[in-house]
Structure 1
Amino acid sequence: MDILRAERKAATEALPPPAERARIRKAYGVSQDAMGKAAGVHRVTISSWERGEAEPEGDNRAIYVGLLREMAAELGTEINMEAE
């Protein structure tokens, strides 16, 4: 149940700007295809999130925020919520 609570919390929290989303993924060394598979969405969806053309919602948002946080933590970096 802790995972469900964490996912619900992430669904309501702000996402980093699109460029920061891409920066974290690239710094972690993951392709858009691999990120999409981990998030349960298509590569094109990850691309549109990273370009700011769309925003993840609901469970997709929770999963995506969680992945970005895990990646940033493993990289030992902060998520820049103001990057452009």
Structure 2
Amino acid sequence: MMSHWNHRVIKRHDKKVHITTFQIHEVYYDDDNKIESWTASPVEPMGESMAELRKDLQYFVEALEKPVLEEKIQNGQEILVEINQSAR
């Protein structure tokens, strides 16, 4: 059961075109703070007012301050793992 979510930077490598990108996604956690799922596509800042947009942008800035996540395959299942600072 999902407990909470936040914005996180995910490093993705497109094997078809050999490009690595860093994108901001919504990441969802369970009650034990373990990653449960994440959005398939990156998200964009938005708001119904300038104040809401400004607040949403702040969440994106906060994502830049957290460890970067990377998609990996483990036991045939896609997971997110934190990568170390030097691998960014």
Whether the TM-score (by the shorter chain) exceeds 0.5 is: no
More helix by share: 1
TM-score between both structures, scaled by the size of structure 1 = 0.25
Larger radius of gyration: 2
Q: Which has the higher contact order (CA 8 A, sep 6+)?
A: 1
